Amino acid sequence: MHCVMDSIPVSSIQEGGTAPTPTSFSQSFDEHFSPSPCLKRKDSVIDFSSTSLVEPPVSVQGSREPLVLKNKSPRWHEQLQCWCLNFKGRVTVASVKNFQLVAAVESSHNVSAAEQEKVILQFGKIGKDIFTMDYRYPLSAFQAFAICLSSFDTKPACE
């Protein structure tokens, strides 16, 4: 999985970096999301991205680079003779839907190795049709849930 978080700057995980928090919206909610243009014109498009409501934040380095998340690389388990991820007891059933996401950053972004290894989102099976989701800053519950839901839409090459 590869997630580009346009609404979260990479500066949110940099040492000394911050994620700007909007204090107000540039337009009122009703003005921006008014359904009337869609009812009048079928070709109208409304941008529902969260970044369309505020000015884009500027990162520490002066550019607006989004945070990119990637699958955490599994480690070889000698006893089990397989590649494994450590879900720390939170995931109990092996499944192709299980995943852990970490930040995918370049060395020029001033993000420590420890920060790069931290799991930002993990999702896994714990029973028949029962899954668990764990997330941390800088993701919101809504963003984490949306990413996890998207995993059900993908069809893995092998089960």
Show the CA angle centred on residue 136, arms to residues 130 and 139, nearest 5°. 95
Q: 142-155, pLDDT tens digit by residue?
A: 999 999 999 888 76
**Highest mean pLDDT of the ranges 47-56, 62-71, 126-135:** 126-135
pLDDT number for residue 15: 78
User: How large a percentage of the chain has pLDDT more than 90?
Assistant: 37
pLDDT(29) > 80: no
pLDDT number for residue 156: 61
pTM exceeds cut of 0.85: no
Q: Which of 122, 120, 128 is nearest to 86 (CA)?
A: 122
pLDDT number for residue 42: 44
Q: 83-114, pLDDT tens digit by residue?
A: 899 999 999 999 888 999 999 988 778 888 88
Collapsing DSSP to helix, strand or coil, 19 comes out as: coil
Beta-bridge partners for 73: none
Cα within 13 Å of Cα(89), Cβ side = 0
pLDDT range class, residue 25, cuts 50, 70, 90: low
Q: What's the whole-number mean pLDDT along residues 26-41? A: 48
**How is residue 97 annotated by DSSP?**
T
Q: Quote the CA–CA distance of 46 and 33 in Å, as a whole number.
A: 7
Phi, psi at 135, each rounded to 5°: -140, 165
pLDDT number for residue 1: 81
Collapsing DSSP to helix, strand or coil, 40 comes out as: helix
Q: Quote the CA–CA distance of 154 and 147 in Å, as a whole number.
A: 11
pLDDT(36) > 80: no
Are 50 and 142 in contact by the 8 Å Cβ rule? The answer is no
Domains (range + CATH), the chain = 2-8+68-153 (3.20.90.10)
